[in-house]
A and B are shown apart, each in its own frame.
Chain A
Amino acid sequence: MSLLEVRGLTTAFRTERGEINAVEDITFDIDEGEILGIVGESGSGKSVTALTIMGLLPQPPARVAAGSVRFRGETLTGMSEPRLERIRGSGISMVFQEPMTSLNPVFTIGEQIMETVRAHEKATPRELRDRAVEMLDKVGIPSAAKRLGDYPHQLSGGQRQRVMLAIALACRPKLLIADEPTTALDVTIQAQVLDLLMDLRDEFGMAVMIITHNMGVIAETADRVLVMYAGRIVEQAPVVRLFERPEHPYTRGLLECVPTLEQDTERLAAIPGSLPEPGRRPPGCRFAPRCRWRIDACRTGLPPLVEQEPGHASACIRAAEIAAQIGAA
């Protein structure tokens, strides 16, 4: 049994244009102590996946149309709110995409950390305070004891993100879901936050699901990777394998279109077109209109996620053929 088991998860939203599936048929596991990276472009369904796992999407307009989420053997989908509330924070906790909107501006950061602990554990005021200082210290806020009384607006963007982490980690969760934890940060601060995540995993054996659109962040942190496109998983592989032998044309495209500091390229390999909106998805493979490998068959049915090698799956009907051709070249 894995720590988290997601099976066939489909989340739909009610919109003016009818019900649309924001994410579809999402299946994956996270093991204890594992860092799973989820990468995909804006609108591909990363946040909806995370929020569905946490049971945090307002229903309606959202609806879990199919599938299930199990955490340590307990089914979360359909669980009552009070029971879910107990799991959030102490079992699974989440760092949200927008640091400023998710810290409460009228409470000090110390109060916000202590409140999280109080909601899940019995502790004396003294213990609460000690825990808050410990967590701020752990996430690298200098002179933590003095900063307990600071309000969010007194902190820089990077510090706020680290306070969010301190709150998320205060109850020592088994799984941390970090949704774009570094997107708003400068590279130097991003590097600090990523180092911190890795250190915390090593220290507490916590599992991490890290969501990003940045392939570099994935390369630096993840053990295993899911690539999402237009609401579906298109490829899943251990990190080294994904970077060295990507199978899906979209994954290849993503890796080729970002310039790197190491190499000089005259011209970037752009992917033509752009991600389709949920209401305007093409029939068949959703990447087909932008894919240089497409054939007529790509337009007819959704390609299933097929495991080519143990642990490495991709949803492309030409995956084996493409791999052979590129391997031979």
Chain B
Amino acid sequence: MSGAQPAPLLKLEGLTKHFAVQSGGFFRRHVTALRAVDGVDLEIQAGETLGLVGESGCGKSTLGRMIIRLIEPTAGSIVFDGVDITRLDMQALREHRRGMQIVFQDPFGALNPRMTVEDIIMEPLLIHGARHDDAARKRVDEMLGLVGLPLRARSRFPHEFSGGQRQRVGIARALVLNPRFLVCDEPVSALDVSVQAQIVNLLQDLQRDLGLTYLFIAHDLSVVKHISDRVAVMYLGRVVEIADKRAIYAAPRHPYTQALIAAVPVLKPRERGRGRRVRITGDIPSALNPPSGCRFHTRCPYVMPVCRTDEPKLAPTDAGHLVACHLMDNQESNKG
């Protein structure tokens, strides 16, 4: 991890999505900006897995969908493989999109119930101009083998499969165009725990064999830690901490990250309640009206006056460990 880093496969700068939503009472309706994602800078290196965690509504899916241009950004830029794809038109985008695909959470909703598995997996090929011929069918066979489904699955329909098998179909479809980069948006959250492990292992095998790069979005911090190289923590549309997964779990710097980790139940009943010391109270505030200054200040146990007025910047503390928290400013000045 020393020396000059190669150019990242994906680079986000100031990426922002504000949804226009109706708000107010019946008579005084007005449009407000819902700040779903608000100025995110991130880099993902080729071949790595970046985990993305944070509470419901913090903007993880919106970020993932903007990257593959399913959602138009309000501001900021997306550079993929050296090309700024933020404002490419549909025609030019199509070629680049081959390189980036998405796997969704819900293996039930994401697949068209009237299509056979073969049609589902082949569809992206056809959209990109391939013909429905032997070559395409052979490619489907390859994909079935790759994700561990029997060849006879090709003529069956999604409802004939269990959740885990459906997720395999979703992964096969995402990989059929040979992408380099995959957004995995909660790919195992809807699965039974005994099946989750099968899919996590499959994603890891595929990454190793095909040299894939992942943005892995999940609620479950343990799964994210298992699969990721680095982890980014989001809160109300912003990234508050990024680091190597071991650093972020062993020595979380941001009070929000600390609280998230402390809240994860431990599988050791003798140590129960260990996290109680660092509980945060209250709920995540609304993205329609995020708190001033540091967005976490309303729930932060260490809040200081400056936190209410100034938004902290994401800044390095140790090598490769970025934190957006005013407590870090103090540590810097204490050291100096």
Contacts and interface: CB of A to CB of B under 8 A. Distances in A.
Q: Do A and B bind each other?
A: yes
Interface of A: 41-42, 140, 142, 156-159, 186-192, 194-195, 198, 213-217, 219-222, 239-240, 243, 253-255, 257-262, 264-265, 267-272, 274-275, 290
Main secondary structure of the interface of B (DSSP, over half): helix
A41 B281 CA distance: 30
Interface stretch (B40-48, B80-88, B194-202, B318-326): B194-202
B226 A259 contact: yes
B263 A190 contact: yes
B197 A268 contact: yes
A235 B298 CA distance: 44
12 contacts: A41-B192, A190-B265, A214-B193, A216-B265, A220-B265, A239-B269, A258-B222, A259-B225, A260-B222, A268-B197, A270-B197, A274-B194
B160 to A, nearest CB: 12
A274 B219 contact: no
A140 to B, nearest CB: 8
B26 to A, nearest CB: 15
Given A220-B272, A257-B197, A290-B194, 6 more contacts: A156-B283, A187-B260, A213-B192, A214-B265, A270-B201, A275-B194
B193 A243 contact: no
Counting chain B CB atoms within 10 Å of each CB, which of A42, A188, A221 scores highest? A188
Contacts of A265: 226
B162 interface: yes
Nearest to A189: B283
A259 B283 contact: no
A189 B193 CA distance: 21
Nearest to B196: A257
Given A216-B264, A219-B272, A41 B193 contact: yes
Closest 7 CB pairs between A and B?
A: A216-B265, A270-B197, A259-B226, A268-B197, A191-B263, A257-B197, A271-B194
A268 B266 contact: no
B261 A188 contact: no
B204 interface: yes
Nearest to B190: A42
A213 B189 CA distance: 12
Contacts of A159: 283
A15 B222 CA distance: 39
A15 to B, nearest CB: 16
B194 A188 contact: no
A186 B56 contact: yes
B75 interface: no
A201 to B, nearest CB: 13
Interface in B186-227: 192-198, 200-201, 204, 219, 221-223, 225-226
Interface in B157-178: 162-165
B266 A216 contact: yes
A261 B221 contact: yes
B100 to A, nearest CB: 26
A212 to B, nearest CB: 10
Contacts of A190: 263, 265
B279 A195 contact: yes
B103 interface: no
B321 to A, nearest CB: 18
Contacts of A253: 194
A270 B202 CA distance: 10
Counting chain A CB atoms within 10 Å of each CB, which of B165, B201, B246 scores highest? B201
A45 to B, nearest CB: 14
B273 interface: yes
Contacts of B244: none
Nearest to A267: B201
